[in-house]
Structure 1
């Protein structure tokens, strides 16, 4: 799955953060390979039971095809995919708005997974958008910034003040046409505009921005940070974000395990091999600066306490600790054999 799963995982998390929940549809592509696509609540629905496991009972996927105005609906069960078309606008009786569009059955075929191949990936336990709590702050920030730009860019709320002079309607039309104002001596022409306290506006924008970062448990990296800030100090600043991400990792890991379960079913049917998805460990790596010197010091101190393979999992650039452990010992054995041959030759 390495040729598609990284981008897929990013899109899966992105859609779940936007809508509060996203769905992964597992299928076998035209080349006979296991694949998956990302769906959202805009075009999919998953019916779950009321148990703690939240088992999927039914899955719906609504879609259209290019150059085809017809709307299609696929219904996923444990063993079948039922295909329907949804009646188009011409056939729908809009005089009866509560009337459901016509659903026409067009066929079905079986799938190999033995369970509904639609996997739910929630953004959080409440299944609400990751931006739900800060939408009002975003709206306030944009509205305030937009009003400030409008005040500067145009004169919609300004009046033309003419002192010590009187202009008739005809004079105003000529003034607008020629772009010239003629007033007698002592006359004065100016705009009456709303006075803008730029310090107040800037402080308000800064306050809203800080609230957005605080409510999202984020750190503003645009601030001036000390150049010698250690990774540990950075992690302390990101503690609340770490807790938020840890919860999302747990939800993401559950979705990945369900993907692996379907993938191993595919392997069992195609290759005749059988694996248990519960034996697979899912590792997440943060995109944060890592103090490799400090990490190496920790590994040295734990040499006689923890196995070498476990210590290798601490290094962010090691993707497969077991493989790296075997490569290290093979290299050491090869060097020992070369040294032995050299000693015998002498």
Structure 2
């Protein structure tokens, strides 16, 4: 019995090794890992990316119809993009907030996040997590001596962990071909204190040659892996087969509609009709059947009708609806076309419909926070080495806000009825357009001082003296 599993068990394994020093000392093992990633892991990642882009492989690559004269439509349905974009928007549609209790440190972290467009960067990480089941981030200092972080291509990146139960990262690997020379493969390895630049021009042995070596000062592997879940599965990976079935069903429906236009016309009976007359009738879309006398002298019967494959409309449409519903159910994403989903429902009632997605979000959020703390731990390390001030990573507060419709009006009205009052800072924090309430209060105070009327007390004093002299 053949194995119908879509991806090999090797397609999503973690790479493990004893230590970074031993790995650099045994470059053949490093080369084997790169080759393994190219052969087993990259095809899975490429397939997941193809489905996200709407290039659904099964419907586009399968040999579906043998008859050349029949229609062969290949309809792809981008459920994958719908799932990932919905989850991305739900998680970070409202940008996550990071803050530190020390205002000076808080300001430094805000500056770093602004330089790196952290909101967009975090959103890209969440999207990669959803598509591939993992995402990678690289930290570095640029020529302006700024701390920067960027996303890496998942298809060309992996992290190597030690062989302990803690699975500590010992190296991050990024490899890519030269844009104008496919024979040259560049392999860059980051350990906890060095960056190694290897190159190989042998496509068969992949023998690595060290081209450059330099230090970095992050005191940790600057490539961070963001896992989507324990098994590093993408959010729609489980339903790829269901997407294929839906593509096939819709394509068959389209083929039927096209083939109906090319149905065979069958004329029964002894008809006095030549080819030229039949062609004229076809152009006029009208058939006049004139029968000939039969052997018994009586007029024979004639009939014309098309032959085509019968289509079970209700059964086929119910089948496609069931497939679409299963895709939404198993990805924990709502069907927005469901008339019972939205409408005039309150935010609280919608939370129950998103209960399954909430469970997924809690898992993704915990893993994302863990990787984020690794990011700020490395930032703290390099800031400390550069005498730019350090901080305790555990004091950083990371807050996710689900992008969910809220009845804020009802909540505020209930709060006011109960006699509650809010500070100005809390009131401003409710507004989504205000990123930092404290900064906004400072701006308001500065504007008030600027607009405050000024008085020339010397002028008033002189006027008082003039009045006194006149009185005398």
Corresponding residue for residue 97 of structure 1: none
In 1, the alpha carbon distance for the partners of 2:320 and 2:342 equals 25
Corresponding residue for residue 46 of structure 1: 159
In 2, the alpha carbon distance for the partners of 1:162 and 1:50 equals 78
**Alpha-carbon shift at residue 289 of structure 1 (Å):** 1.5
For residue 399 of structure 2, give the secondary structure of its aligned residue in structure 1.
coil
In 2, the alpha carbon distance for the partners of 1:313 and 1:51 equals 44
In 1, the alpha carbon distance for the partners of 2:429 and 2:414 equals 12
Corresponding residue for residue 114 of structure 2: 2
Corresponding residue for residue 190 of structure 2: 76
Corresponding residue for residue 222 of structure 1: 337
For residue 42 of structure 1, give the secondary structure of its aligned residue in structure 2.
helix
Higher relative contact order structure (alpha carbons within 8 Å, sequence separation ≥ 6): 2
When the two structures are aligned, how many residues end up with a matched partner?
320
Rg: which structure is higher? 2
In 1, the alpha carbon distance for the partners of 2:127 and 2:382 equals 27
Q: 8 Å contact 2:429–2:437 — kept in the other structure?
A: yes
In 2, the alpha carbon distance for the partners of 1:128 and 1:275 equals 34
Corresponding residue for residue 56 of structure 1: 169
In 1, the alpha carbon distance for the partners of 2:206 and 2:288 equals 69
Moved more, 290-299 or 131-140: 290-299
- 1:284-323 alignment runs, 5 A limit: 284-297=400-413, 319-320=435-436
Q: Is 1:232 aligned to 2:348, yes or no?
A: yes
Q: 8 Å contact 2:336–2:342 — kept in the other structure?
A: no
**Alpha-carbon shift at residue 64 of structure 1 (Å):** 3.1
TM-superposition CA deviations, 1:202-233 (whole Å, max 9, x none): 11111111111111222222233564321111
Structure 1's 329 and 10: CA in aligned 2 closer, same or farther, altered over 3 A?
closer
In 1, the alpha carbon distance for the partners of 2:406 and 2:181 equals 51
Q: Which runs of 5+ in 1 are unaligned?
A: 93-99, 339-346
For residue 398 of structure 2, give the secondary structure of its aligned residue in structure 1.
coil
Q: Is 1:152 aligned to 2:257, yes or no?
A: yes
Q: Is 1:244 aligned to 2:356, yes or no?
A: no
For normalisation by structure 1, the TM-score amounts to: 0.77
Q: Which runs of 5+ in 2 are unaligned?
A: 1-112, 292-300, 454-472
- 1:254-293 alignment runs, 5 A limit: 254-293=370-409
Give the RMSD, CA atoms, in angstroms: 3.8
In 1, the alpha carbon distance for the partners of 2:308 and 2:147 equals 65
Structure 1's 213 and 123: CA in aligned 2 closer, same or farther, altered over 3 A?
same
Corresponding residue for residue 95 of structure 1: none
TM-superposition CA deviations, 1:147-203 (whole Å, max 9, x none): 11111123699555343369xxxx99xx99x98899873655543211111111111
For residue 75 of structure 1, give the secondary structure of its aligned residue in structure 2.
strand
Instruction: Indicate the structure with greater helix content.
Output: 2
**Alpha-carbon shift at residue 6 of structure 1 (Å):** 1.9
For residue 105 of structure 1, give the secondary structure of its aligned residue in structure 2.
strand
In 1, the alpha carbon distance for the partners of 2:334 and 2:368 equals 23
In 1, the alpha carbon distance for the partners of 2:415 and 2:382 equals 39
Structure 1's 310 and 226: CA in aligned 2 closer, same or farther, altered over 3 A?
closer
For normalisation by structure 2, the TM-score amounts to: 0.58
Q: 8 Å contact 1:295–1:315 — kept in the other structure?
A: no
In 2, the alpha carbon distance for the partners of 1:231 and 1:9 equals 25
**Alpha-carbon shift at residue 46 of structure 1 (Å):** 0.8
Q: 8 Å contact 1:157–1:194 — kept in the other structure?
A: no
TM-superposition CA deviations, 1:38-57 (whole Å, max 9, x none): 23542111111345543101
For residue 63 of structure 1, give the secondary structure of its aligned residue in structure 2.
strand
In 1, the alpha carbon distance for the partners of 2:411 and 2:435 equals 16
Corresponding residue for residue 96 of structure 1: none
Q: 8 Å contact 2:219–2:382 — kept in the other structure?
A: no
TM-superposition CA deviations, 1:41-100 (whole Å, max 9, x none): 4211111134554310111101234434322100111111111112254xx4xxxxxxx3
